[in-house]
Amino acid sequence: MRVLTSVVLIPTVTWLILFSPQPVFQAAVSVFALLCWHEFAGLSGYYNAKLESWHGWIPGLVILYAGLSGTMLMTVIILGALAAALRNRELREGIPATAFFALGLIYAFGAWRAAVELRVISPYWVLFANAINWVGDSAAYFVGRAIGKRKLAPRISPGKSVEGALASVVLASLFGVAFVNYFLPATPWPVALGVSVAGNVAGQIGDLAESALKRGAGVKDSGTLLPGHGGWLDRLDSSLFSMPITLFALTLIG
């Protein structure tokens, strides 16, 4: 079932990124962001910071699509977080809810805003930010199983190894340079290499961050909507980190 889900999901996402009309792409991004937010809000209850999913819809979509500066975006996030805190009767519940609300809005909607902005530069950069994680995850899995000895983060994800993580960086970087050389030939190869390394490392950190969130909550998966994969956060955890870092790296360089 896990393989079947990937066989359906990866071509669909690739089409949405590269070939779909802009309104269709934005609708898909909205759905992905709302699904990630919904699962994140569900996890908040395990931390005594229960959030109602629908409370984040409006501020989240404002973050996703409003033409606001970074300062104004943070203002929207903070105001939304305060609103989440004020609805709780007990401050000991409201203050954690504030933190979870602000973190969740950045985590879900901020990351997908990066996808929207990357597509303006080129749809291939959106695909790049996701594909280097697909390739890196496969490398980490097979190399980790074959020769993995040293645990990367035993408290968070006991199955991950240092050897697998290094293999992920190496193979994803080789793939990234080849990808950029073919689809974005105006990009110098040192830039392609730097963005590949940054995006892959960010994706691995995103994977560990979501694992830590689940481990703290005492759950195996963030949801059940993707057969064999768990929830959308389980499938997109790397992308939620790699897309903003890819955009940041390109902005920094350009």
Q: How many domains does the chain have?
A: 1
CB count in 10 Å sphere of residue 78:
15
d(CA 161, CA 167): 10
> What is the predicted pLDDT for the residue at 85?
63
Single-letter code of the amino acid located at 223: G
Instruction: Inform me whether the pLDDT recorded for 208 exceeds 70.
Output: yes
> What is the predicted pLDDT for the residue at 2?
46
- Residue among 70, 73, 41, 49 nearest 59 (CA): 73
- The most confident of the ranges 48-52, 74-78, 79-83 is 48-52
Residue 177 · residue 192 · CB < 8 Å: yes
Residue 136 · residue 171 · CB < 8 Å: yes
> What is the predicted pLDDT for the residue at 207?
94
Average pLDDT, stretch 81-100? 72
- Measured CA to CA in angstroms, residue 213 lies from 26, 43, 100, 217 at distances of 28, 8, 11, 6
Span of 20-29, 94-103, 116-125, 179-188 with lowest mean pLDDT: 94-103
Instruction: Inform me whether the pLDDT recorded for 183 exceeds 70.
Output: yes
> What is the predicted pLDDT for the residue at 3?
47
pTM of whole model > 0.85?
yes
Span of 114-128, 184-198, 214-228 with lowest mean pLDDT: 214-228
Instruction: Inform me whether the pLDDT recorded for 146 exceeds 90.
Output: yes
Average pLDDT, stretch 195-205? 97
> What is the predicted pLDDT for the residue at 123?
97
Q: For the chain, what is the mean pLDDT? A: 88
Instruction: Inform me whether the pLDDT recorded for 32 exceeds 70.
Output: yes
| For the chain, percent of residues with pLDDT exceeding 70 | 89
Per the model's pLDDT, the better-predicted residue between 49 and 67 turns out to be 49
Average pLDDT, stretch 239-252? 94
d(CA 191, CA 177): 9
d(CA 128, CA 202): 13
3-state secondary structure the chain: CHHHHHHHHHHHHHHHHHCCCHHHHHHHHHHHHHHHHHHHHHHHHHHCCCCCHHHHHHHHHHHHHCCCCHHHHHHHHHHHHHHHHHCCCCHHHHHHHHHHHHHHHHHHHHHHHHHHHHHHHCHHHHHHHHHHHHHHHHHHHHHHHHHCCCEEECCCEEEEEHHHHHHHHHHHHHHHHHHHHHHCCCCCHHHHHHHHHHHHHHHHHHHHHHHHHHHHHCCCCCCCCECCCECHHHHHCCHHHHHHHHHHHHHHHC
> What is the predicted pLDDT for the residue at 231?
86
- Residue among 132, 61, 121 nearest 247 (CA): 121
> What is the predicted pLDDT for the residue at 250?
93
> What is the predicted pLDDT for the residue at 77?
73
Average pLDDT, stretch 39-61? 87
> What is the predicted pLDDT for the residue at 86?
65
Average pLDDT, stretch 214-233? 78
Per the model's pLDDT, the better-predicted residue between 1 and 142 turns out to be 142
d(CA 137, CA 78): 34
- Label residue 26 by pLDDT band (50, 70, 90): very high
Average pLDDT, stretch 238-250? 95
Q: Domain span at residue 110?
A: 2-253
